[in-house]
Amino acid sequence: MTTTVEPVSPTPAAPEVVVVRSRRVACDGVGGALGHPRVWLEMGDEPFVECGYCDRRFVLASHETPEDERLAPGVYEGAGGH
């Protein structure tokens, strides 16, 4: 009698997606060990940008991605230019 053990394939960690209302956001991580210096990220031609430090993806709010009233920790939206 044999027992079949299915191989457990590692699940790639999906990057966290943060919906924002501004094309310009600042990110300084989520604090603690995951924190990093605050960096400003600006979206270009595409309605999203990824943080090179913590790999979070910031997606511009649209009809398909309803905005969340509360931003994720460590995320700051730009004021839309000075």
Three-class SS string for 28-70?
EEECHHHEEEEEEEECCCCCEEECCCCCCEEEECCCCCCCCCC
Kindly state the smallest distance separating residue 30's Cβ from Zn ion, in Å. 8
Q: Is 27 a binder of Zn ion (CB under 5 A)?
A: yes
The region of 1-9, 15-23, 28-36, 58-66 touching Zn ion under the rule CB under 5 A is 28-36
Using alpha carbons only, how large is the chain's radius of gyration in Å? 17
| Binder of Zn ion out of 22, 43, 53, 65 (CB under 5 A) | 53
The region of 14-22, 24-32, 42-50, 62-70 touching Zn ion under the rule CB under 5 A is 24-32
| Binder of Zn ion out of 26, 43, 54, 71 (CB under 5 A) | 54
Distance separating alpha carbons of residues 14 and 51, to the nearest angstrom: 14
Number of residues lying near Zn ion (CB under 5 A):
5
